[in-house]
Amino acid sequence: MRRNRHQTSQFEALQRLDPLQQRPQIGFIRTHILQQVESLEKVYNGIHDTHVVLVEEAEDSKRADVTIQVYRQTLTAHDTAPTYEAAVSECAKHLRRQVLRYKDQLRDKGDRQVRA
């Protein structure tokens, strides 16, 4: 297929509009966040939605707020660290504990229903 100079493929257009190319550090942070969320999904695959907010409070203080939606509940974690990666990792640790507690509650509730 022959294209004239004004036609571009969808991929080329997306590449041009992608702000991550201009700031490669954001791409690294995004990859780190995705890895942390995937690790949570290994613990519990019923995560419906994830929302991450990154805030620079000071030059050496970065804050991460991570919220995940599970069945009928919202689990949140907030942490501050020198880098965004460290803050997100700590949030993932906090959420891992919350998800495990949530799973135990679901399991206990199911056991009570079976006994009744």
| 27 vs 73, more confident | 73
Token code pair at residue 116: 């009744």
Q: What is the pTM of this model?
A: 0.73
Separation CA 43–CA 34 (nearest Å): 15
Tens-place pLDDT, residues 76-109: 999 999 999 999 999 999 999 999 999 999 888 7
The pLDDT, as a whole number, for residue 6 is 45
Nearest residue to 51 via CA among 24, 86, 76: 76
Tens-place pLDDT, residues 7-60: 444 444 444 444 445 555 678 899 999 999 999 999 999 999 999 999 998 888
> What 8-state DSSP symbol labels residue 77?
E
CATH 3.30.160.100 fits 24-115, yes or no: yes
| 96 vs 4, more confident | 96
Domain ranges of the chain: 24-115
